[in-house]
């Protein structure tokens, strides 16, 4: 036999616990009945008129002791039977949901992320564990689906530039083509595409893991939006899309990392341009939401987003129309990076859309610094 101790099951542990309680109770009763009972019983017999050391007194006291032993023995047996019955009943009620949870966990360990635990109805605590397990399974399944899609998209994104570079390298080696300005520009473009993809993946991983350091400082909102819009004005004009900066009342100051927030707004403007046809309009505006919150909004009149896809637009490599986005050169993680950067600032990034063809609105909600009035005064000076 192995020297290792066999682990006890739930039933044996439950029964052992009840047996200990029953044994302790019976032992206490035996001690009390043996030590306190006879003297009290003897004193009452004397008070009733029985002579000391009489045969009647001896037999009555012996009958009392025998009766106590019989009663305690029957009580011990009854308690043991009841403990066994209660243990069997409750362990069966607990074992079935626990077995279901165990099998579900084993299925998850084997990679079956679609495993779910049905309603167990074994108490609030067990039901809470089952609900938490199902939530975990759903998130793991979603993560696994994203991982598979990410690997597929990565392979697709890398295949084209690598193929182009390989063809040109072979052509240069075989003397079929020669190095010239066009060849250099093409290879540089493909290398830049690979480099951008690697940097995007690195950025989104660092942002989601909270490893990006922010250099925060009070920044005037109007200046931030104006700089971002002007940086994209040429690209919008080339496609024929109207880019409007709508700054009504002064939006004040917000405490941010200007470079990172510029990256967020730049990603949103690039995404809006990609999905807005010529003749459409993209509007950038700032809206104060009380004294402590500020909304930076990028609204377009483009493709729009179906309601069932709104919860997925910030996932890595998610594309509503894969072929279309690839043709436009999107890597599929710009919005993921943007959301992670906004959350690192303590804000939120959300998307709304009336539906396909009706445009979409991306809103960056940021906290205002508590000393924003002082910062505004300094900026004005």
* Most confident option among 47-61, 105-119, 326-340: 105-119
CA dist list (Å): 225 to 132, 263, 279: 43, 12, 22
**Predicted local distance difference test score (pLDDT) of residue 278:** 92
Place of tokens 């029953």: 22
Burial class of 23 by CB neighbour count within 10 A (0 to 12, 13 to 18, 19+): middle
The mean pLDDT of 337-363, rounded to a whole number, is 87
pLDDT above 70 for 44: no
**Predicted local distance difference test score (pLDDT) of residue 101:** 79
Burial class of 342 by CB neighbour count within 10 A (0 to 12, 13 to 18, 19+): buried
**Predicted local distance difference test score (pLDDT) of residue 372:** 43
Helix axes of 181-208 and 334-344: crossing angle, nearest 10 degrees: 40
Q: For residue 329, what pLDDT band results from cuts at 50, 70 and 90?
A: very low
Query: Which stretches does DSSP call E strand in 175-324?
Result: 217-220, 242-246, 253-256, 281-289, 293-300
* Exposure of 325 in the CB half-sphere (CA atoms within 13 A): 19
DSSP 3-state assignment of 213? coil
Place of tokens 């959301």: 339
The strands making up 242-246's β-sheet, listed across from edge to edge, are 242-246, 281-289, 293-300, 360-367, 348-352
The mean pLDDT of 334-359, rounded to a whole number, is 85
Q: For residue 362, what pLDDT band results from cuts at 50, 70 and 90?
A: very high
- Containing H/E element for 322? helix 322-327
Q: Is 0.75 surpassed by the pTM of this model? A: no
The mean pLDDT of 269-288, rounded to a whole number, is 90
pLDDT above 60 for 321: no
The mean pLDDT of 89-95, rounded to a whole number, is 72
**In the chain, where does the domain assigned CATH 1.10.287 lie?**
124-208
Is 2.60.40.60 the CATH classification of the domain at 217-380? no
Rounded distance between C-alpha atoms, residue 186 and residue 173, angstroms: 17
Place of tokens 């809206």: 287
| CATH number for the domain formed by residue range(s) 124-208 | 1.10.287
Rounded distance between C-alpha atoms, residue 194 and residue 158, angstroms: 7
DSSP for residue 308: G
Q: What percent of the chain has pLDDT over 70?
A: 75
pLDDT above 60 for 319: no
Q: Among 136, 193, 134, which residue's Cα sits nearest to residue 162?
A: 193
Rounded distance between C-alpha atoms, residue 332 and residue 343, angstroms: 19
The mean pLDDT of 248-277, rounded to a whole number, is 85
**Predicted local distance difference test score (pLDDT) of residue 279:** 92
The mean pLDDT of 273-290, rounded to a whole number, is 88
Rounded distance between C-alpha atoms, residue 175 and residue 369, angstroms: 63
The alpha carbon dihedral of 310, 311, 313, 319 has a sign of: negative
pLDDT in tens, 200-258: 777 666 666 666 777 888 888 888 899 889 989 888 999 999 999 887 667 788 888 88
Q: Are strands 242-246 and 281-289 parallel, antiparallel or unpaired?
A: parallel
**In the chain, where does the domain assigned CATH 3.30.565.10 lie?**
217-380
pLDDT in tens, 11-34: 566 667 777 777 777 777 777 766
Burial letters for 189-228: b for 16+ Cβ neighbours within 10 Å, e otherwise?
A: ebeebeeebeebbebbeebbeeeeeeebebbbbbebbeeb
pLDDT above 70 for 127: yes
């Amino acid at each position: 036999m192995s020297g290792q101790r066999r682990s006890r099951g739930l039933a044996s542990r439950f029964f052992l616990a009840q047996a200990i309680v029953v044994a302790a109770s019976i032992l206490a009763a035996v001690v009390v009945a043996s030590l306190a009972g006879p003297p009290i019983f003897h004193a009452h017999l004397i008070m009733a008129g029985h002579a000391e050391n009489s045969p009647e007194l001896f037999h009555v006291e012996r009958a009392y002791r025998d009766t106590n032993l019989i009663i305690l023995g029957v009580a011990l047996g009854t308690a043991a039977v009841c403990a066994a019955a209660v243990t069997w009943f409750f362990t069966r009620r607990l074992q079935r949901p626990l077995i279901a949870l165990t099998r579900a966990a084993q299925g998850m360990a084997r990679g079956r992320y679609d495993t779910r635990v049905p309603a167990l109805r074994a108490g609030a605590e067990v039901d809470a564990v089952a609900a938490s397990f199902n939530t975990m399974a759903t998130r793991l399944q979603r993560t696994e689906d994203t991982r598979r899609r990410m690997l597929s998209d990565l392979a697709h994104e890398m295949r084209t530039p690598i193929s182009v570079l390989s063809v040109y390298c072979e052509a240069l080696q075989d003397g079929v083509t020669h190095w010239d300005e066009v060849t250099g520009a093409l290879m540089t473009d493909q290398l830049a595409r690979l480099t951008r993809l690697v940097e995007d993946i690195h950025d989104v991983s660092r942002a989601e893991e909270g490893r990006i350091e922010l250099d925060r400082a009070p920044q005037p909102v109007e200046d931030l939006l104006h700089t971002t819009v002007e940086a994209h004005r040429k690209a919008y004009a080339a496609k024929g899309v109207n880019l409007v900066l709508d700054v009504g009342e002064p939006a004040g100051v917000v405490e941010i990392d200007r470079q990172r927030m510029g990256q967020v707004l730049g990603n949103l403007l690039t995404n809006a341009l990609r999905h807005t046809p010529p003749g459409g309009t993209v509007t950038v505006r700032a809206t104060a939401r009380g004294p402590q919150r500020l909304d930076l909004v990028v609204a377009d009149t483009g493709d729009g987003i179906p309601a069932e896809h709104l919860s997925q637009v910030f996932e890595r490599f998610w594309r509503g129309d894969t072929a279309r986005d690839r043709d436009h050169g999107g890597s599929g993680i710009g919005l993921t990076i943007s959301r992670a950067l906004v959350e690192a600032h303590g804000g939120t990034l959300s998307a709304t859309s009336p539906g396909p063809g009706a445009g979409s609105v991306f809103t960056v909600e940021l906290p205002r610094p508590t000393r924003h009035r002082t910062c505004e005064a300094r900026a004005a000076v």
